[in-house]
């Protein structure tokens, strides 16, 4: 099972990214463990300066913008 992390401090873009990820999972029928990471110390471990960040299996896939549903489905 894939692990998806959404890094962000709870801003509207971070919330939108989480919604998009959940929609993508539902539409694709795939399963993944989704984790929202809001702790700044944890986020800094990924060496990113802009959020939201989408991490799939510990690899940064998208940062600094909200992806669309089809883009997330392709990453799954």
Q: Is 43 a catalytic residue?
A: no
Q: How far apart are CA 76 and CA 71, in angstroms?
A: 9
Active-site hit among 6, 14, 24, 72: 14
Per 3-state DSSP, what percentage of the chain is helix, strand, and coil (rounded to 5)? 40, 30, 35
Active-site hit among 9, 11, 30, 64: 11
Q: Is 14 a catalytic residue?
A: yes
List of residues 6+ apart from 66 with CB closer than 8 A: 13, 16, 17, 20, 52
Active site residue ranges: 11, 14
């Amino acid at each position: 099972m894939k692990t998806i992390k959404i890094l962000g401090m709870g801003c509207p873009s971070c919330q939108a990214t989480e919604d998009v990820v959940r929609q993508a999972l539902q539409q694709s029928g795939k399963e993944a463990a989704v984790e929202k990471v809001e702790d700044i110390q944890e986020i800094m471990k990924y060496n990113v300066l802009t959020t939201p960040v989408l991490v799939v299996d510990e690899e940064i896939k998208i940062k600094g913008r909200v992806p669309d549903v089809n883009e997330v489905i392709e990453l799954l």
